Each structure stands twice: as structure tokens, then as C-alpha cells.
Amino acid sequence: MSAMAEAKSPGRPRCQETRDAILRAAYELLESGGLVAFTIEAVAERSGAAKTTIYRWWPNKGALAMESFLRVAEQHSPFPQTDSARADLRAHLHLFAKSLRGRAGRLLTGIVAEAQKDPATRAAFIRSYVAPRRQAARALLERGIARGEFRTGLDVEGVCDALYGFFYMRLLLAHAPMDDAAVDRIVDLVLSGISLETETVA
Amino acid sequence: MSAMAEAKSPGRPRCQETRDAILRAAYELLESGGLVAFTIEAVAERSGAAKTTIYRWWPNKGALAMESFLRVAEQHSPFPQTDSARADLRAHLHLFAKSLRGRAGRLLTGIVAEAQKDPATRAAFIRSYVAPRRQAARALLERGIARGEFRTGLDVEGVCDALYGFFYMRLLLAHAPMDDAAVDRIVDLVLSGISLETETVA
Amino acid sequence: MSAMAEAKSPGRPRCQETRDAILRAAYELLESGGLVAFTIEAVAERSGAAKTTIYRWWPNKGALAMESFLRVAEQHSPFPQTDSARADLRAHLHLFAKSLRGRAGRLLTGIVAEAQKDPATRAAFIRSYVAPRRQAARALLERGIARGEFRTGLDVEGVCDALYGFFYMRLLLAHAPMDDAAVDRIVDLVLSGISLETETVA
Amino acid sequence: MSAMAEAKSPGRPRCQETRDAILRAAYELLESGGLVAFTIEAVAERSGAAKTTIYRWWPNKGALAMESFLRVAEQHSPFPQTDSARADLRAHLHLFAKSLRGRAGRLLTGIVAEAQKDPATRAAFIRSYVAPRRQAARALLERGIARGEFRTGLDVEGVCDALYGFFYMRLLLAHAPMDDAAVDRIVDLVLSGISLETETVA
DNA sequence: TGGTAACCGAGACGGTACGTCTAGTCTTATC
DNA sequence: GATAAGACTAGACGTACCGTCTCGGTTACCA
């Protein structure tokens, strides 16, 4: 038999349907009306759950928003792994852009806003969403370096922030489109830089 | 009749000191306690002004936050104009980073968050803060192109989003520092790209 | 110049209609549904006032119940003052019983219940309602003593508690009627006692 | 061993200790903190029983309060039976006052308050507590009448309400003491009445 | 010099949502 | 079947801000 505990705490077990209904109501509200419509009371009403139940499982608005967002976001933008790191990067960012253009994007703006007023939410966001993607992106870049596609001594973190920052920027400000052409251009930019001649970086 | 409006409306003229006190209270609150502490009631109390007076001049929280932010931000991060576009870019971004590390940064996070729940605030933010900087950045880049420093056919908007996006990213998530070394690295990155060999971009 | 202050505090003056609407809603609810229906939320909804407004003026449920009760109770059961203290007592108690059979009685049960869980309400009840009536009843009894109608050395407080206690008993327990015949009988009882022969009390 | 049914229903028999623990916890809470502290959840926690168990045996708060009160009250204030009805009455009321000054009094106020919001509790209170005492008091008074100590044609119910009402009054309002001297005075009063001369009652 | 129009403070008002509390019901596993 | 544990719906509690309103009083100008 396996070592996993099972534990089986006493009492009525948690109702999974209620939990799902709450998370569903949460992201539906967050998606349709943004952070303004996203209210614990509204979530309670829409999900049919009692406020008490919500507060039993999530300490505050931010935590609930985070989890409902993760549900939606987790199943998207995988990291392809072909024999070209450049192609992988491009492919991944196209998928990422696509997810941001959809439901996940509409939720993400709310999460980022909420994260500004609640440090715990920010921490959870970084830990649960940002960090894993960073980890994968870092691996991709380092694979590229190992394969000789990318420059050695690269500031990998910086590259990530410039690349993802581009998308966050367009998402949060919505001042310019985030279509496939734009994605291609930003990938080209980051690959080749803006300088006309290849100079030796100091 | 003269061209300058002046109009000189009747009645008691607006009290400039009150206006200043309100804006000062606003950014002090926004700076010290973030969006959570930034409350019209708190601004009223701290400034000594009546809520009515605040609402007479600013339609809502976002508008007041915007204006108090602009007061602080406007006097920073100028665009140098030497004979090297690359140097100008680098110099500007160092100044920009410095301003974000200070008071302006602490306010900016609140503004961006507020912009997510109020379209008018987002519009004002783009119009009053983002657009002018973009305009100047665009000019800088195009000057560089004209001088043969930067590649022709550059997606100028995209470059801006990647560059500024980097800073917004670090500011909003605070997951990595935004010191001068990081600025230098990101400038290098954007100048030269990540690819090892200079390839012809499709 | 008159002696009365007037004071005239700054700001928007209190809206008397709202105040009245709240008190009216309060006693209507208290009357129709008792303490169970008497909820700040229900009072707010029925009166059209905001909960905030209610809490601005009354510290808790008990205080509001008290005041709305006093409104109703204050205009009832006066103390007649003829040349017969016995007749006055009888007349007063008939009026008192009548008021308890009406709206005031339905409110009073709620007040007494609330007073059991909130010392402040009990204090207010005694101070505002019980004490003035006691004062008048005491005066009536002492007038009777002075006129030679009532025994000297009477425990006036005890008489009051026995008399009013009779009514509270019937009101709170509702186990027996409180009609005019019952009032007459209790007055007779207290006047003459239950002993068959007039004995000298130790 | 007797032949009586025993019935022996199937399943685990009811745990008497749990029942006792619940009732004990109930009156301890009711006694120490009044109706405010008397919470089903608090009773459950203090007794170590589950809420379910409480609700299996008592339909609601009022019923539990009633029963725990009866436990305490039932063993007190017996009705002596000597050859003087007057002495018996006096003796009984002294015992009754003593019980009200103790634990039973502290519980009684809660019961009366609860009875105002729940008709079932009121009915149970009258049925289980008030009625038996009334029955005995009535018997005492009628014995007195039969022995020629008390007036014939007495409104026995009215006498009871005036006498007990006195005690309820002092208990619920706590505006005056309920010591032995006060008891003596109220007995004297009810025995002899307040009128100076023995008049013929209309 | 007095009228008038817009200013300002204070603060009451109707609302919305918060996060907490308790009631009473239910579901599960254990005894 | 009784019990402990504890999740669940329901709904009131009292608080915090929102944005609007109505006062009394204060400038400045213009007639």
C-alpha cells in the first residue's frame, strides 16, 4: 500500500459541487464585469452558496479571484519543445497571446489590480502563476543558449520581463492590439534587437 | 476680443490652496498606504477640505488619483537629446527607472489598478501620462532610425511596449529589482537582441 | 436676548421626516411581528432609510425600540386627580390596562425582552418609562395617605410593584385576560387585602 | 427485575451523560452570560456534544433553555402546609424569593425574554413552570378561604398575579431589592390591603 | 455699497459591500 | 440508532466608503 496519508478527516466532507459553483460564478463575474462586478455577495448569489461558505475556504476576495483565474489559466499556453528554441519561443508566445485575448486576459487584469492592494494576492499570483511560467520560459531560453541559438550570458530574467511585459502592457492599457502580427514583431525584435549593426555589448 | 479665454466667471474664485491641499493629501495617502488607504473621506480629512469640494472638481476617485499622480510624475524622466540615440535611450530609461523607484512608482501601481476598474481613469492615464511619453520615445527611436543607429522598419510601438513593459512588470509584480544594472541589461537586450548570430529577420 | 442657546450646529440639519419614518417603521414592525420581526434591516427597508442613518442616531436595536415605544406609550394612561385617591388609582389603572391591551402592550413585551439582554436598554426603559410612572403613582398613593384614604407607613414601592407587576405578568405570559373586570378585581384586592378580618399587621 | 416493558429500541441507546452535559452547559451559560451568551454553538462547545445531538433532543433554543431552567427551578420553593394559610403563604414566598435571588432568577429572566419571541417557549414555560406553581398557590389560597382566614369570593388568579407579578417585576427590572423585608411587606400588603378602613367592596 | 453667484466647511442621506456571527439542517464515519 | 465532526443555507449584525444633498457662511465681482 502506498505511503500517501488519505487522512480522512471526520465530519461531513467538503461539497465539491459547491466549490465548483463558487469558482465558476467567480470567474464568470470577473470575466463579464471585471473587478467592479466581482463581489463576494454577487458570487454568493450567483453560485447559490452562502457567504459563510465562501469565507470558510477563501480568506478574501483576492484569494478567490486567484484560484478562479488559475482554473482558467492553467490549461493554456503550454511550452512546445521542438528542436528550435526560437520556434518554441514564438509558438509559446502565440499561444500565450491567444489565451490573453480570451477569458484569461479578462481575468488577469482584475487579478493584477487586486494584487496591488493586497500583498497576499500578489504573492499568490507570483507563486502560482508567474513563477511556473517563468521557470518554463527560463528553461526554454537556456536550452536555446545551450544549443547555440541564443547569446551566452543572457539576462534571462530580463528577457522574460521584456517579453511578458509587452503582453501585460497591452493587456492592462489596451492601447494597442495584441494580435498575431504584433506577436511576431515583438519576437523578431527580441531576437534581433533594434540596432542596425551587430555591436559588441559592453 | 482677446484670444485668451479668461472669461472671468462671476462668484467667488476657486481657492488654490484648497486644491493644493487636496492633491497633496491625495498623493501622500496613495504613496504611504496605496490604493487601500486612498479614500475620498481620508483625503477630505487629511486635507481639511469637505468631500463636496473634492467632488466639485474631480468626478471620482480615479480622476483625483490621476491628477495627484501627474503632479508627481510630470517633473521627472525627461528625454535627453544628444547626438547618440542609443545613449539618449539609455539615459532616459535610467531616469525613468529612478522615478519609478521613488514616489511616482508607488503611486503608479495604484493608478494602474484603479484604471482596471474605471475606463475613464484608464483613458485619462493613457492620454495624460502614457501618450506623451510614447510620443517622445517614438521621436527618439525615429531619430535613431534616421541617423542610421536603429534598424529601419522597426515596430516602434512594439519596442516601446517591450521597454516600458519591462518596467511596469517589475513595478507591479516587484518580483525582481529595477536597479541601474537591470536597466543597462534590458537596454543592451533591446539593442542587440538575444540571437547569437545576426540573422535576417523575415 | 433669550437664554436658550439655539446653538445651530453646522452642516446639513437632521431630516425630521426620516427620523419619523424610522420610528414609525420600528413600532409597526415591533407591533406586528414582535421582537423577531424587529430587525434593523427590516426597519431600514420599511422606512426607506439607510441602515447607516439608523445607526447614526441609535446605538443599537434596544435604543431604537425604546424610543419608538416611548412615542406610542407617552401619550397614554394619564393620572387623574380628583378628590378621591381610590377613584384616581382605579381610573388610572383602567387607562393603563387599556393602553397595554393596545399597541403599547404589544411593544412593551419586546422592550422587556430586549432589556434582558442589554443593560443599557433596561436602564433606558426604567429611566424613561418606568420611573416617571412610578413617580406619579407614588404621588397618588401619598396623596391618598395624606387624605386618610390609605394606611400610613405603606410600602409605596411595594404597592407599585404588586400593582404594575400584575399587569406585566398578564402581558408577558398572556395566560389570563386583562379586561376591565380583572382590573377592578385587582384594585379591590389591593385596597382591601385578602384577609377576612382586619388584623393588625405586625 | 420488573416485568415492565423496557421496550428496548434498537440501535445505540441514548447517552444520559451527554444529555446531562448539555443541560449543565446550557444553564451555566445562561446563568453566567444571560441570553446573549446562551448560544447553541456555545452549548455544544462547552458540553462537548455535537450540535446535531442537541437538535435531536430539543427542537430549538427556547426548549433547551426551558429544560435547563426547570432542572434548576424544580427543586426549589416548596409549598409548606401548616395549620395557618397565612404562614404558609409567607413561608412559600420567602422560599420563592430566595430561589429567584439565586441561580434560578438569573435563568428566569432569559426564559421570559425568550418566551417573548417564541410562542412555543412561552407555552412550555406556562405549562411546565407557571401552571404547577399556580395550582399549588391556588390550593393554598382556597385552603385559607375554607379555614376562614381569607375572604370568600376572592379572585384567586388575580391574587397570584399580583403576588408573583411583584417578584417578576423586581427580577426583570432590578430596580429595587427583593430581600426578606420586601417579601414581608408585600405579604402584609396583600393580606391587609392599603385602605385605612375596612370598607365594603362594591 | 449692497446684490448675487460661486465657493467652502460640515455633515446628513440612500446605498452597496464588507467580513462576522448564529440558527438550524445536512452528510459522513464511527461507536 | 446515537454520536462527533463539521459543511451547508440563510440572513442579521454593525462598519466603511461611496457619491449626493442641503445647510450656514465666505469671498469676490458688478451694478
Give the pLDDT band of residue C77 (cuts 50, 70, 90): low
The full DSSP string for B70-109 is: HHHHTTS------S-HHHHHHHHHHHHHHHHHSHHHHHHH
Task: Determine whether the interchain pair A159/B112 forms a contact, defined as Cβ–Cβ distance below 8 Å.
Answer: no
Per-residue cell: A80: 512546445
Model pLDDT, residue D6: 43
What is the CB neighbour count within 10 angstroms for residue D121?
Answer: 23
Per-residue cell: A118: 493586497
Question: How far away is chain A from the Cα of B179, in angstroms, using its nearest Cα?
Answer: 12
Closest residue by C-alpha to C1' distance, nucleotide E28 = A12
Question: How far away is chain A from the Cα of B75, in angstroms, using its nearest Cα?
Answer: 22
Contacting residues of A for B112, CB less than 8 Å apart: 112-113, 116, 172
Partners for B (CB, 8 Å, 3+ pairs)?
A: A
pLDDT tens digit sequence for D39-64: 999 999 999 999 999 999 999 999 99
Phi, psi of C150 (to 5 degrees): -115, 155
pLDDT one digit per residue (tens) for chain A, 202 residues: 343 444 567 888 889 999 999 999 999 999 999 999 999 999 999 999 999 999 999 999 999 999 999 998 877 667 888 999 999 999 999 999 999 999 999 999 999 999 999 999 999 999 999 999 999 999 999 999 999 999 999 999 999 999 999 999 999 999 999 999 999 999 999 999 888 764 444 4
- Domains of chain D in start order, with CATH, are 3-57 (1.10.10.60), 79-194 (1.10.357.10)
Q: Which of these ranges, A192-201, B160-169, C143-152, has the smallest mean pLDDT?
A: A192-201
Chain F nucleotides close to protein (CB under 7 A) are: 1-30
From the CA of C195 to the C1' of E15: give the distance in Å: 65
Chains C and D touch (3+ CB pairs under 8 A): yes
Using DSSP, state whether D194 is helix, strand or coil: coil
- Whether residue D140 contacts residue D133, with contact meaning beta carbons closer than 8 Å, is answered with no
DSSP character for B38? -
pTM of the model: 0.88
From the CA of C175 to the C1' of E13: give the distance in Å: 45
Contacting residues of D for C35, CB less than 8 Å apart: 116-117
Question: From the alpha carbon of B59, which nucleotide's C1' atom is closest?
Answer: F19
3-state DSSP percent of chain B in helix, strand and coil, to 5: 70, 0, 30
- Whether residue D85 contacts residue D147, with contact meaning beta carbons closer than 8 Å, is answered with yes
B91-119: string of b/e by CB count within 10 Å (b at 16+)? bbbbbbbbbbbebbbbbbbbbbbbbbbbe
- Whether residue A50 contacts residue A95, with contact meaning beta carbons closer than 8 Å, is answered with no
Q: What is the largest CA-CA distance in chain D?
A: 71
The position carrying cell 428496548 is D8
From the CA of B135 to the C1' of F19: give the distance in Å: 36
Give the Cα separation of C186 and B70 in Å (integer): 82
Is the model's pLDDT at C114 over the cut of 80? yes
Q: Directed axis angle between helix B156-173 and helix B103-117, to 10°?
A: 100
Closest CA to B141 of A88, A8, A196: A196
Rounded-to-10 torsion of CA B92, B97, B99, B103: 170
Residue type, B85: A
Closest residue by C-alpha to C1' distance, nucleotide E5 = B11
Residue type, A71: R
Give the Cα separation of C195 and C192 in Å (integer): 8
Give the Cα separation of C101 and C180 in Å (integer): 11
Phi, psi of A84 (to 5 degrees): -125, 115
Model pLDDT, residue C195: 82
Model pLDDT, residue C78: 77
